[in-house]
Amino acid sequence: MDTPAIAASAGGAVVIGVGGDGPGQNRAHGRHRAGHRGKQWQSDHEREGQHQNLLRDVSLVLTPAQKGETDSRALPYDWQKTDASASDYNDQNVTSQFTSDPQGGQTSEAMRTYLQDLAANNKFTGSVLVMRRGKVLARFASGEADEKNGIPNRPDTVYRVMSVTKQFTSMIVLKLRDRGLLNLDDPICPYLVPSYISACPTAWLPITVRETLIHTSGIPNIETLPSYLANITRPTTPQKLIQQFVNLPLDFPPGTSWKYTNSGYVLAGAIIQAVTHKPYGTVLREEITGPLHLKHTGYSRSYPPDGYAKGYYTVGSPAPRLNGSELFSATGLYSTVDDIARWDRAFGSYQVAPPATVQLAFTPQAACPSGGCLNLPSSAYAFGWLVDQLQGHPLRYHPGLFQGYAASNMYLPNDDIQVVVLSNVQATDTNGIARRLATLALDL
């Protein structure tokens, strides 16, 4: 068993990690760098809090699945087509809808009042789902998915979830690690050369797979580059994205600080493709969305067709029409509130991965700077999850915010509470809304 330790801090952050991949794991590239930069990694079998809730029977309102690939050739849901499972939400004249389990009682009523007040004051456009122990406490939709055509948001509307994608990309990497296809502490360069870069920059030589997932690589965030923003609406490839930052100086030596960077997750997606010899969207379907029956979740490599909520900076101010390739495996997924809640519950039932891997996914890897990671309440970053507590209860969550969309996926594993807030208005405070709803759910 590896000994937990905390590495030296730099830039206001302390890096924490989980190291050697355990006895018997095949290291596909490179050797485990014992003691690298003074890191000692926590055992995969240790965890911060007990994670024991099992999946209970739950009937979610799910829309029909479209057959085909989870890319531009398949539309996950056509909201202009009526069907029995979505018939409760087909009133095109309704500006907001709320449903809940009657057993929610006062908690559901409090959520109803809160959400309807937000909608009445134009503070929320999107869809919400709140569940506790398999019971729906709140299912809500408000505002318009398409302002030009007057199409309202519904509880089953499909949104871009932006950086909530990172939870999925991280879990794919962890599952590949379980299979011995990679080691979290492998250097990244052998995976990238020559398919994605012709040669590895000297500064990148010590960067590990783990560091691309926990934002400690030091690689600058591609999202901040003028060259990237100038071409954001054009379909692109992982190779072209990587070329934009491969020769930039690092923000800090790898493993010495924490700074959010989509670049790391672009590299993680490239590594996934390198070890599987399959497209990212195919691996996502085979490893996660297929087995978990997330029928309305996928990765789109081109401009989204009709059927997705269109993105807006603010109500009445459309954002550019993006395609899923603009940040690849960092932000490229689309989904619904039901699918994201089902994804969360799959952690509690260990359907997504074995217990040790689920525990590892939630284990703090890097301490947040003062003020929290992303300036949100948080003490550390795990594999695609911010680590926090809410009224003393362990909380794992991640936001999404980019080019017309805002999202928050909050999961309280010990309480089996899922709060999913998806919006097609970037100015929406999805994290604040989700936190308020999670607090109400704890009061039940």
Respond yes or no on whether the N-terminal peptide bond of residue 194 is cis (omega within 30° of 0): yes
The enclosing domain of 381 has a CATH number of: 3.40.710.10
Residue 412 pLDDT grade (very low, low, confident, very high; cuts 50, 70, 90): very high
**Residues in a beta bridge with 135:** 132
List Cβ neighbours of 187 (8 Å cut-off, separation of 6 or more).
29, 30, 33, 205, 206, 207, 208
Tens digits of per-residue pLDDT, 303-340?
Answer: 666 678 999 999 999 999 888 898 999 999 999 999 99
User: What is the number of structural domains in the chain?
Assistant: 1
List Cβ neighbours of 154 (8 Å cut-off, separation of 6 or more).
79, 86, 89, 97, 127, 141, 145
Contact call for residues 99 and 107 (beta carbons, < 8 A): no
- Tell me the one-letter amino acid at 349: S
Burial class (CB in 10 A: 0-12, 13-18, 19+), 37: middle
Tens digits of per-residue pLDDT, 108-165?
Answer: 899 999 999 999 999 999 999 999 999 999 999 999 999 999 999 999 999 999 999 9
CA 247 – CA 324 distance, rounded (Å): 24
Catalogue the E-assigned strands of 100-236.
126-132, 135-142, 144-146, 151-152, 159-160
Tens digits of per-residue pLDDT, 83-110?
Answer: 223 323 333 333 455 666 665 567 789 9
Q: Which 3 state secondary structure label does DSSP give 153?
A: coil
Domain of residue 321, residue span: 1-444
At 301 the pLDDT is 73
